[in-house]
C-alpha cells in the first residue's frame, strides 16, 4: 500500500486541487445546485470536471481539506516521491 499524502500542518490526508487557465478537451463536467431559502436563489459551488481526455493548465493550487492551508509544495513533493 502506498502512503497517503499528509498535510504538514494538520495531518489530514485529503486535499483539493484548483487548476487555473485550463485548456480541457473531451471533458465531462458536473455542476450541483443547492437551493438557498434565505436568498431565494439557487447556489452553485462551481463546475467540477469528472473526466477529461486531456487538461493543460497554467497553474494550480492544492488546498488541504482539513485546515485549508495551501499545500501545493507538499503535494508536489508527494507526487514526485510516489510517481503520480
CB-nearer residue toward Zn ion: 29 or 76: 76
**Mask of contacts with Zn ion, 18-57, x by CB under 5 A?**
----------------------------------------
CB-nearer residue toward Zn ion: 7 or 75: 7
b (16+ CB within 10 A) / e for 40-76: eeeeeeeeeeeeeeeeeeeeeebbbeeeebebbebbe
If one asks whether residue 7 binds Zn ion (CB under 5 A), the answer comes out as: yes
Amino acid at each position: 500500500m502506498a502512503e497517503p499524502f499528509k498535510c504538514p500542518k494538520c495531518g489530514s490526508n485529503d486535499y483539493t486541487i484548483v487548476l487555473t487557465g485550463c485548456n480541457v478537451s473531451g471533458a465531462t463536467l458536473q455542476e450541483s445546485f443547492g437551493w438557498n431559502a434565505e436568498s431565494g436563489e439557487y447556489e452553485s459551488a462551481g463546475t467540477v470536471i469528472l473526466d477529461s481526455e486531456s487538461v493543460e493548465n497554467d497553474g494550480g493550487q492544492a488546498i488541504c481539506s482539513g485546515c485549508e492551508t495551501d499545500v501545493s509544495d507538499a503535494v508536489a513533493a508527494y507526487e514526485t516521491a510516489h510517481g503520480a
